[in-house]
């Protein structure tokens, strides 16, 4: 029985799942739109949104906060995101273009659009993309 078993396994070992997650999130950040299966898109979506929120938190300075603390928070956020992604260019794009784009938005940075079934195995295909402001 799968009662209270959380998360998606996608028929892979944990190392393969982590590699798949990193690769798909990196591609989503670089291209801002990827075509994949519905299960993989739902698997990646929450993680991608958490990374965008973390990048936004690293960019914003709080009121009455010393500059050193704001800089330390920004560096910490960059290091956390760099640990979760494969590509330093993706980290740079996330902080320079994507996070500032969503600074006024409180979540819901991605959307899933259904495309139909794949010809070979009839897997449900979707388009996972960043929402435009």
Q: Position of tokens 């960059």?
A: 78
Mean pLDDT, rounded, of the chain: 92
Which of residues 126 and 60 earns the better pLDDT score? 126
Q: What residues pair up with 126 in beta bridges, in sequence order?
A: 36, 114
Of 63-72, 92-101, 113-122, minimum mean pLDDT range: 63-72
The domains of the chain, with CATH numbers, are 14-130 (3.90.1030.10)
pLDDT at 132: 87
Distance CA 118, CA 123 (A): 5
Residue 130: pLDDT over 90: yes
Question: What is the SS3 assignment for 45?
Answer: helix
| DSSP tag of 10 | T
Rg (CA), the chain: 17
Predicted TM-score of the model (pTM): 0.89
Distance between CA atoms of 35 and 29, rounded to whole angstroms?
13
- The pLDDT of residue 60: 83
Q: According to the model, what pLDDT value does residue 79 have?
A: 95
C-beta of residue 61 within 8 angstroms of C-beta of residue 70:
yes
Quick: pLDDT tens for 12-61: 999 999 999 999 999 999 999 999 999 999 999 999 999 999 999 988 87
């Amino acid at each position: 029985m799968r009662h209270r078993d959380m998360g998606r396994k996608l028929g892979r070992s944990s190392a393969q799942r982590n590699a798949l997650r990193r690769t798909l999130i990196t591609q989503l950040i670089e291209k801002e739109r990827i075509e994949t299966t519905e299960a993989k898109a739902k698997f990646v979506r929450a993680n991608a949104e958490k990374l965008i929120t973390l990048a936004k938190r690293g960019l914003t300075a709080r009121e009455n906060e010393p500059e050193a603390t704001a800089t330390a928070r920004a560096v910490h956020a960059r290091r956390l995101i760099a640990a979760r992604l494969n590509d330093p260019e993706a980290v740079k794009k996330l902080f320079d273009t994507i996070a500032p784009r969503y600074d006024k938005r409180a979540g819901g940075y991605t959307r899933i659009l259904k495309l139909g079934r794949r010809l070979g195995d009839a897997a449900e295909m979707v388009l996972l993309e960043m929402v435009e402001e």
